[in-house]
Structure 1
Amino acid sequence: MTTARDLAIVALDVATDKPVEQGDLSLALAGAEVFDLLEARALVLDGDRILPSAQSPTGDRLLDEAAAALVRQEPYESVEDWLWRRGRGLSSAYVEDLERIGLITRPRGRRIPLRTGRTELVDSAARRQAEERWAADEPVLAALAAAAGMRDEPAAEPADETVTVLAAVGDAVMELEAVRQRKVIEDAAFDNVWRGY
């Protein structure tokens, strides 16, 4: 299993207790893919730039898609740009993939979004592995989950190379929240204008 898939599984487990914003989770999943691709040696980080390495199959469909999506021309892509580009709709892609491989079930005939908690995780080795990493407070998984709003900040400080990615994920999530807040304020102002007439 990958960190990204473990994060998606944990999000489905936690989503019933604490709603997870799909946009925040998508950004965290894109960050998790960076870690998974680093581990698979499909990329290296040069400061905040993602430099692709030799592309070899990882055995995970979504991770192979991520590897194929890496920008392969200089000046390459920053981690932040990757998060925004790759993260678009990524939480839904992971839910669909988990369903496709039989790790979750849904009521038949309806498409139900992640945050309703109506998806059910199947008892599986993948679920147990994700739960073990979660219970062990594995630093990268815990930090990504915190960035997505699923838990408080972890006590353990991640290693050097991970700080760049985690900082970019945190910044992107804060930027997304600022966009949400602006939208709420703009909508409220628009409503007030119409009430005045």
Structure 2
Amino acid sequence: MTTPRDLLIVAMDMASSRPPERGDLSLALAGAEVIDLLNAQAVRLDGDHIVPGDRRALDDRLLDEAASSLLRQAPYESVDDWLWRRGRGLSAAYVAAFEAEGQLTRQRRRWMLFGTSRMVLADTPARRLAVDRWTSDEPILATLAAAVGLRDERAGDPPAVADDAVATVLAAVHDALRELEAERQRRALDEAAFNNIWRGE
């Protein structure tokens, strides 16, 4: 399994209590992809720019797709730019992959009028491995989960990440999430101001 997949599993397992915003999750998934590409030595960081290595096939289709979409000419792409470009709609792409692979199943709700269903995670080895990683408080997964609001505040801060390149990516994810939240707040204020004008207040 990969870090993005583990993060999505954690997010879906905890969705009933505190589901993350899709945009937040997509940015974090894009950051998780860079971290896995670093660990696979498919990329390295030059400052905050992603420098691709030799093109090699990766075991995971979505991670391989991420590697294929890297900019391969100097000055390369900053981690921040990657998060916004790659992150667009990324959570939906991972959910679609899970569904195609049979990692999601439809759960019927018989007690509701006309019956409804929703997609839930199947009990798979991949899910169990992700849960093990989550419960062991693995630093990278814990930090990404905390960034999108999945970590209980009572659990304290996630463990420190020792690798400088990984820490750079995690910091970029935090910055992008703050930027996205600021944009949401600006839009909410603009909408409220427009509504007040419309009502003549």
TM-score, length-scaled by structure 2:
0.90
Q: CA RMSD in A?
A: 1.6
CA–CA distance in structure 2, aligned partners of residues 100 and 121 of structure 1? 12
1:156 matched to which residue of 2? Answer: 159
Q: Which structure has the larger Rg over C-alpha atoms? A: 2
Shifted more, 99-108 versus 127-136: the winner is: 99-108
2:193 matched to which residue of 1? Answer: 189
2:70 matched to which residue of 1? Answer: 70
Q: Where in structure 1 are there 5+ consecutive unaligned residues?
A: 109-116
The answer to whether the 8 A contact 1:103-1:121 is kept is yes
2:57 matched to which residue of 1? Answer: 57
User: Structure 1 residue 164: deviation in Å?
Assistant: 0.4
Which residue identity is paired with 1:157? A
1:169 matched to which residue of 2? Answer: 173
2:43 matched to which residue of 1? Answer: 43
Q: What secondary structure sits across from 1:176 in the alignment?
A: helix
Q: What secondary structure sits across from 2:159 in the alignment?
A: coil
User: Structure 1 residue 39: deviation in Å?
Assistant: 1.4
Q: What secondary structure sits across from 2:118 in the alignment?
A: coil
Runs of 4 or more off by more than 6 Å in structure 1? none
CA–CA distance in structure 1, aligned partners of residues 106 and 95 of structure 2? 11
TM-score, length-scaled by structure 1:
0.92
The answer to whether the 8 A contact 2:107-2:120 is kept is no
The answer to whether the 8 A contact 1:139-1:154 is kept is no
User: Structure 1 residue 83: deviation in Å?
Assistant: 0.3
Which residue identity is paired with 1:188? A
1:114 matched to which residue of 2? Answer: none
Q: Where in structure 2 are there 5+ consecutive unaligned residues?
A: 109-116
How many residues get paired? 189
